[in-house]
Amino acid sequence: MITVRNRELWSQWAPFALRLVIGYGFIVHGWAKLSRGPDKFAGVLEWMDVPLPEIVAWVVTLVEIFGGLAIMVGSWVTLVSIPLIAINLVAMFGVHWKYGFSSVNTVGLTAAGPQFGPPGFEVNLLYIAGLLAIVMMSGGAGAWSVDRWLARKSSGA
């Protein structure tokens, strides 16, 4: 049976789990861009007609790495979520939309196994929903977050 006290306890920890997964995901995406060289990602941005693709590639890469880290530790979550959501909206409408919703698009089967086509916008939507959920939760970034620590420190608790 879930009591009011248990519900309050769980509501403090739910953002923690979301922050870990979402933050890690952004770090991994940013690190992949960095390790391959942002110039490779700039080619994708140029294909999308994004202005100044070389600069934008570096900005997106660094925002994903440091924004993901900030989400993981629960620091400035509301502020950091804005550019992360913007990145996902651009990816969703600029690249993934035409492939439909599903992130798993099976296009065939060979002796080696299933063959997959480009992913749809499902994952972008999940990242956006997760960030919005963290931002809108009444407990904020939740337990074990820098935001919570700073709030307690400023209130003298």
Tens of each residue's pLDDT in the chain, 157 residues:
567 677 777 777 888 999 999 999 999 999 999 999 999 999 999 999 999 999 999 999 999 999 999 999 999 999 999 999 999 999 999 999 999 999 998 889 999 999 999 999 999 999 999 999 999 986 678 878 898 888 888 887 6
Q: Looking at residue 2, what is its pLDDT?
A: 62
Crossing angle, helix 122-136 and helix 77-91, to 10 degrees?
160
Q: How many CA atoms lie within 13 A of 51 on its CB side?
A: 0
